[in-house]
Chains A and B, each alone.
Chain A
Amino acid sequence: MDNPAPPHPPDTRHRLRLAGALELSPSIEKHPVTIHERYGHFINGELVPGQGDESFATVNPATGATLAQVAAAGQADVDAAVAAARKAHDEVWSKLSGLERGKYLFRIARRLQERSREFSVLETIDNGKPIRETRDVDLPLAAAHFFYYAGWADKLSYATRGAPPRSLGVAAQVIPWNFPMLMLAWKIAPALATGNTVVLKPAETTPLSAMLFAELLQEVELPPGVVNIVNGAGATGNLVVSHPGVNKVAFTGSTEVGRAIMRTIAGAGKRATMELGGKGANIIYADAALDQAVEGCVDGIFFNQGHVCCAGSRLLLEESIAEDFIARLKRRVETLRVGDPLDKNTDVGAINSQGQLRTIERYLEIGREEGATVWQGGACEPPGSGYFVRPTILTGVQQSDTVVREEIFGPVLACLTFRTPDEAIAKANDSEYGLACGVWSEKTSKVFRTAHALNCGVVWANGYNLFDPSSPFGGVRHSGFGREGGIAGLWPYLEA
């Protein structure tokens, strides 16, 4: 009664020849970028080689070729960076008026827009994500974040309900490899707007755009020490967050590392925000606009190769439409182009690292062992070299399966079904994580009832992975705490 079968079930005999229907010639983005042989750190306004001998390579994941050697910061480098940040905070940045701080932020935002293509290309080369996304999403959003918080800099008393806004001091910020520039902007923009200074550690697989950003900061003549960038892997990150001169820790990354950081800084009186993993559920009701919901699933899980903490990696389908919907989704996936990230037509680029590629492949193996049916599609075969995974859909999975419970962080979608809204909500909430969910229905009352019952930080209605600097973002439970973006993004950087 609730879910009548469609009067004319789709006839599977009729097939559309979608894969490869749109034959395109290569269209490679050729905007020039400079990649140096070696990179050090950015401390006190200077690009410095680093005091230790340790270094690591960053590679182009689309080819596996080494791009540059990057110094790994040790204690001496981190001490210097924190000291520079402290001095800049106490003597310059916290003393500047909000209006003056805002001017610097506006300059950063404008310059980022002007050099946007250069940043996009470099980010694509270092990260593996398609140029279409760096060009149309990462860089425009990063600039928008600086513009947004530039506007707040002289209006902070509206965020503190009239209390005089006071900065915390030095913020240690550790960011992940999935959105290097965007996460940099999410971290640095609110910190600077509120009068804090920064020691930032980019991910070790994607340091290049942050180092280009350092050059940009020199260009806009940001006072030395206000932003410091130290490179390195987990050991460096640990030095940064555990440094006694740091007042605030902001971390985006895995739940495992977030937990370790919280243990490290416990009892040290440091403020913290954690933006951790997720296992987002995209709930599709039978009364949704189905072809658009398909698009939402594609945006939810195949955007950025699924390297998105809020990815809609679980698809919850109302049973009456499940078969039809998965057929629609597969048809759409057959038009996704997997390939050279610098090709303007690439939809799904390279997996960021060999390690992550292995992780994804291991999860697919576990999925098969636990009984999942693994389907992979795409408009074309992935390139022979580099790290690629075709968009993957898992069916025949259950709530207890590893691939449904754990964050895979790849283009892998696990499909489950439900019969009633209550069941959909129960399944969506059945997760350690609580970052983001999507709800698709043309019935507004159902959308709101469902959204309110979902236990997570972000709910998108008839959309997924849509970001705006004015909208707070963050999770609950194992997805972390604290918010970034909007007015709520200012609070973690201000004295209560």
Chain B
Amino acid sequence: MSRTCTESDIRRWRASTVDDMTAARRVDRVRKRSIKVEAKVRLLELALSMVDLTTLEGRDSPERVRALCRKAQRPYASRPELPSCAAVCVYPSMVPHARAALGEGSPIKIAAVATAFPSGQLPIALKLEEVRRAVQLGADEIDMVINRGAFLAGEYARVFDEIVATKDACGEAHLKVILETGELGTLDNVAAASRLAMAAGADFIKTSTGKIQPAATFPVVLVMLEAIREHFLETGTKIGMKPAGGIRTAKQALHYLALLAETLGADWLTPDLWRFGASSLVNDLLRQLLWRAEGYYQSPRRFSVD
């Protein structure tokens, strides 16, 4: 299926504006939600099952990736009943090591960042080649970056076409489209880019690479969720959401899930439609879960770094 976008599509995406002040007030209100006892345990476990455990460093090694895979499978060895993470997120070169560690048909997905992550500054042909290679090597999910240069220059059709081409290159693999909201500058841009990405075939929209500050923020996630809601109401298609970067505490994660539940409802409270792009978050989730079970806070040292 070939997707195209018209001038009127673009005008419509651009027309959906956001009032920053009131968006901030909405977010503040969600962050006052007091999530305690049973509800807290339930949401902490859900959050754990939604983590894309991530390592995206120049110094990544096969051994580090193997460690990450082990942690994703079994976040805390003494509590094997806790859920495993949703996925590991790595560079394409690390995909074979992750596949070897997790095995074929693993319930834990392998997500590969591609399209010249994080900047996206390569010719489209090379970006597509990288995507095809990552899928060949065994990636289940591709996290691409949009062409922010083109977006900010107003070349929306080009951004759109690149996403369409990347989606084609993915084949069966799921496509997450990183908007890199920290570079988009305004919530209006975030709203437009979200709509553009979904129309172009994104399975997930994702805030950030984690390499740019600010990364995921509550107002940005609110705006993206509202865009997903509009898309669903128009088309019936459920698009997933992945905030990434800067989510370190269980409290942040719980409030993101509250925002999700109050914006998109019960159907989105699943790893199929929500992921946390994070690494250190897992240990804080574990710490909170063990506090509920054991009555005191564990030393952070009790949990492995990777």
Contacts and interface: CB of A to CB of B under 8 A. Distances in A.
Contacts of A21: 261-262, 265-266, 269
Contact of B19 (A136, A292, A335): A292
Nearest to A8: B234
Contact of A22 (B19, B38, B40, B258): B258
A485 to B, nearest CB: 20
A10 B233 contact: yes
Contacts of B101: none
A13 interface: yes
Nearest to B8: A7
A299 B25 contact: yes
A289 B37 contact: no
A291 interface: yes
Most buried by B among A24, A295, A299: A24
B153 interface: no
Interface string A107-139: 000000000000000000000000010001000
Interface residues of A, number: 34
A5 interface: no
B7 to A, nearest CB: 12
A292 B18 contact: yes
B136 to A, nearest CB: 36
Contact of A344 (B32, B39, B230, B233): B32
A377 to B, nearest CB: 13
A27 interface: yes
Contacts of A37: none
A442 B21 CA distance: 12
A91 interface: no
Interface string A264-290: 000000000000000000000001110
Contact of B17 (A22, A24, A26, A442): A442
Interface string B27-40: 00000111111111
B158 interface: no
A29 B12 CA distance: 46
B26 interface: yes
Contacts of A296: 22
Q: How large is the interface on B (under 10, 10 to 19, 20 to 34, 35 or more residues)?
A: 35 or more
B229 interface: yes
Contact of A289 (B22, B229, B236, B264): B22
Contact of A295 (B26, B33, B266, B267): B26
B161 interface: no
B236 A292 contact: no
Contacts of A452: none
Interface in A6-24: 7-8, 10-11, 13-14, 16-18, 20-24
A95 B266 CA distance: 64
A247 interface: no
A288 B16 CA distance: 9
Interface string B241-280: 0000000000000000110011011110100000000000
A345 interface: yes
A262 B8 CA distance: 60
B130 interface: no
Contacts of A344: 32, 34
B262 A22 contact: yes
Contacts of B26: 292, 295
Contacts of B235: 11, 14
Most buried by A among B8, B40, B230: B230
Contact of A463 (B21, B32, B33): B21
A7 B200 CA distance: 18
Contact of A291 (B226, B233, B266, B267): B226
A450 to B, nearest CB: 16
A25 interface: yes
A462 B19 contact: yes
18 contacts: A8-B234, A11-B233, A11-B236, A14-B232, A14-B233, A14-B235, A16-B264, A18-B261, A22-B262, A23-B42, A26-B36, A136-B32, A289-B19, A291-B226, A292-B19, A295-B26, A345-B33, A462-B22
Given A16-B267, A295-B25, 4 more contacts: A14-B232, A16-B265, A17-B265, A17-B267
Interface of B: 8, 12, 17-19, 21-23, 25-26, 32-40, 42, 226, 229-230, 232-236, 257-258, 261-262, 264-267, 269
Considering the complex of A and B, which 7 residue pairs feature the smallest CB-CB distances, nearest first?
A292-B22, A22-B261, A27-B34, A292-B19, A344-B34, A289-B19, A21-B266
